[in-house]
A and B are shown apart, each in its own frame.
Chain A
Amino acid sequence: MLDIDEIPNGNRLRRLGRTREKAGITTDMNSMVDMAFLLLTFFMLSTTMYRPRGMELVMPVPDDEDTRTEEVQAVKASQALTLIAMPDHKLYYYRGLLEAAGIKPITYDKAGLRNFLQAFVQETDKPVVLIKPHPDCAFEDLVTLLDEMNINHINRYAIDRVSEQELARMRSAGFPVPNP
């Protein structure tokens, strides 16, 4: 659909009702717009706007038989908090030494864990948290715990294995512990 206004006052073109008083070439852009927007929509939908996001994790150098005893840092019992993640999204904690403290349950939600950690950070000088995920607990729980460490600005934390004594202690306290 190309209109060429060679004769601005030409009667023949006038009768078609398309002539304008302008000289030059007018192209009908509608189909071009259609096509451009079609392409635009296609590229918009096929573009991955998603960029992977994540949390950085820095692990310690793995234990060496020779350095093991010297490298273990002594932590005062009053500074330490142990969080034990169990299967079925159950979480338990104890403060200080296992012998002295009892293991108590706590929830992952804001009212439970976050408030507790906030209070713990406030009353403790240089807090240290030990995260002990049970082998069968969901990976999600570990991520939640690590996330809470970042949220509450706890810089000193470690991931460790849950020990037999801890499991035995929990069993005797009546908490559900899966059999190995």
Chain B
Amino acid sequence: MRWSALSRSKTPQIDMTPMVDMAFLLVTFFLLATTFKTGEIVWVQMPRSVAGLNLPMTDLLTIYVDKDGRAYMSLTSPQARRAWLHEYGRVSQVAYTEEEYRAFETMSGFGVSSAQLRNLLQTPAEERKRFKQNGIPIKGDKNELAEWIILARVTIPRLRVAIKADANTPYQKVEDVIKTLTEINVLRFTLITQPKKLNDDAGY
């Protein structure tokens, strides 16, 4: 009886239920563990080091320095970014509109002077990528980078600061950023690197 029933079905049948269970378990895991990749403001070729200090994903202020020495900043969470802009508006006496706040929340980072910030925020999201960001001024009459960092610290007391500079940036440009940090008493910060093995040699 049994044999005849099996022989009659042409394709073997596999019970897929456990497989579905497992697949959905994994889907659930990834769904919860995912933080979606946000586009980085600027692409940076990180220098390599064996140092493996893991940085927190929250309360982190990253200062990008591209290879031409332009500085950009990004703060991890959208809520913190909103509060940050609010502080900035309060200090510089600019009342930002709700749309501008929302634009600032969605941007992972920015690299413009305070004079240009409004222009950037009012640019529609799809055109923002093409907006030429010339870096946050460090030298000049006002060190705007310092101002932003101070306000970020006001917003998040447990703020950690990291510098993500391009491997080929002239040291002078990074030094300007480091000097900015030490002048406002941020003496402990992290240089973001990509991992390398202990015995790897640089190619020079």
Chain A positions within 8 Å of B, measured between CB atoms, are 14, 17-21, 28-30, 32-33, 36-37, 39-40, 43-44, 46-48, 51-62, 85, 89, 108-110, 133-144, 146-147, 150-151
Given known A-B contacts A54-B162, A85-B171, A20 and B5 have beta carbons under 8 A apart: yes
- Segment among B29-37, B104-112, B122-130, B148-156 that sits at the interface with chain A: B29-37
Choose among B15, B16, B169 the residue that contacts A139 (Cβ–Cβ < 8 A): B169
Q: Are B182 and A33 in contact (CB under 8 A)?
A: no
Whole-angstrom distance between the Cβ of B135 and the nearest chain A Cβ: 16
Top-8 shortest CB links A-B: A29-B16, A43-B30, A36-B23, A55-B51, A135-B172, A140-B167, A143-B47, A140-B47
Q: Does B19 contact A (CB under 8 A)?
A: yes
Alpha-carbon distance between A81 and B1 when the two chains are bound, in angstroms: 89
Alpha-carbon distance between A60 and B166 when the two chains are bound, in angstroms: 24
Q: Are B165 and A139 in contact (CB under 8 A)?
A: yes
Q: Are A55 and B202 in contact (CB under 8 A)?
A: no
**Sample of 25 A–B contacts (CB below 8 Å):** A17-B8, A17-B10, A29-B15, A32-B16, A43-B31, A51-B54, A54-B51, A54-B55, A54-B162, A54-B191, A55-B53, A55-B193, A56-B188, A58-B188, A59-B182, A60-B187, A89-B202, A135-B175, A136-B170, A137-B170, A139-B167, A142-B174, A146-B191, A147-B49, A150-B51
Chain B positions within 8 Å of A, measured between CB atoms, are 1-2, 5, 8-10, 13, 15-17, 19-20, 23-24, 26-27, 30-31, 33-37, 47-55, 57, 60, 62, 65, 162, 164-175, 178, 181-183, 185, 187-195, 198-199, 201-202, 204
Q: Are A33 and B171 in contact (CB under 8 A)?
A: no
Given known A-B contacts A29-B17, A48-B35, A139 and B171 have beta carbons under 8 A apart: yes
Q: Are B192 and A53 in contact (CB under 8 A)?
A: yes
Chain A residue contacts of B48, Cβ below 8 A = 140, 143
Chain B residue contacts of A17, Cβ below 8 A = 8-10
Chain B residue contacts of A146, Cβ below 8 A = 49, 191
Whole-angstrom distance between the Cβ of A65 and the nearest chain B Cβ: 14
- Interface of A, helix, strand, loop or mixed by DSSP: mixed
Q: Are B2 and A21 in contact (CB under 8 A)?
A: yes
Chain B residue contacts of A53, Cβ below 8 A = 51-55, 192-195
Chain A residue contacts of B192, Cβ below 8 A = 52-54
Alpha-carbon distance between A82 and B34 when the two chains are bound, in angstroms: 46
Q: Are B190 and A54 in contact (CB under 8 A)?
A: yes
Alpha-carbon distance between A146 and B170 when the two chains are bound, in angstroms: 16
Whole-angstrom distance between the Cβ of B75 and the nearest chain A Cβ: 14
Q: Determine which residue in B9, B19, B48, B49 has the highest number of CB atoms from chain A within 10 A of its CB, and name it.
A: B49
Alpha-carbon distance between A143 and B190 when the two chains are bound, in angstroms: 11
Given known A-B contacts A54-B53, A144-B47, A151-B50, A19 and B183 have beta carbons under 8 A apart: no
Alpha-carbon distance between A150 and B174 when the two chains are bound, in angstroms: 20
Select from chain B the residue with minimum beta-carbon distance to A111.
B201
Alpha-carbon distance between A58 and B201 when the two chains are bound, in angstroms: 26
Alpha-carbon distance between A150 and B197 when the two chains are bound, in angstroms: 14
Given known A-B contacts A19-B5, A39-B27, A57-B190, A144 and B202 have beta carbons under 8 A apart: yes
Alpha-carbon distance between A12 and B125 when the two chains are bound, in angstroms: 62
Chain A residue contacts of B50, Cβ below 8 A = 147, 150-151
Chain B residue contacts of A151, Cβ below 8 A = 50, 198
Select from chain A the residue with minimum beta-carbon distance to B175.
A135
Whole-angstrom distance between the Cβ of B30 and the nearest chain A Cβ: 3
Q: Are B52 and A135 in contact (CB under 8 A)?
A: no
Q: Are B20 and A36 in contact (CB under 8 A)?
A: yes
